[in-house]
Amino acid sequence: MKIQEILEAKKLNKNLDDLDDNDEPAVDADQDKIPHIVMQLRKASDVEGDYPVTFKDGKKYKLKLKDIEHFLHVYDRLKPIDREAMQNIASKDIDGFHNALKTQVKPKPQSAIKGSRYMSNFAGDLDEK
């Protein structure tokens, strides 16, 4: 829209915008009707499992607190790409949630650096000369 058209419309008190009557705002694909599974599980954890978790199949279940805490424990220790895969599996239905509980977390590798915390045992070749 040109500036001249806007000025003329203001003079005539017309409401002109860049959208036509047929244009509608696009629906946000990220905005689901079902909340994020991890947020639902954290809410359920806060109220000791007395919160129904809604899955993508539309069914709601109250889960055991032990299962909720186990899921969140494993979820927090995964890498981001593994987290996404786990939440996709868990959010489908109740069977997917129980399958996601079987996910194993790899233990952290031991440190390759030897010595005490403050490196008091550090000795170099030049120290004794």
- Beta strands at 60-61 and 53-54: parallel, antiparallel or unpaired: antiparallel
Number of DSSP helices (H) and strands (E) in the chain, helices first: 5, 2
Q: Which two tokens stand for residue 24?
A: 């509608």
Q: Is the pLDDT higher at 84 or at 121?
A: 84
Q: The pTM is what?
A: 0.59
Secondary-structure percent of the chain, ordered helix, strand, coil, rounded to 5: 40, 5, 55
**pLDDT (tens digit per residue) in 32-73:** 577 899 999 999 999 999 999 999 999 999 999 999 999 999
**How many whole angstroms separate alpha carbon 41 and alpha carbon 53?**
7
Tens of pLDDT along 100-111? 999 877 776 666
Domains in the chain: boundaries: 30-105
Catalogue the long-range contacts made by 84-88 (C-beta closer than 8 Å, 24 or more residues apart).
87/36, 87/37, 87/38
- What distance separates the 2 farthest-apart alpha carbons in the chain? 95
**How large a percentage of the chain has pLDDT more than 70?**
66
- Higher pLDDT: 29 or 39? It is 39
Which is nearest to 38 in space by CA: 64, 68, 60, 82?
68
* Tokens 């030897």, residue located: 114
More confident call, 6 vs 71: 71
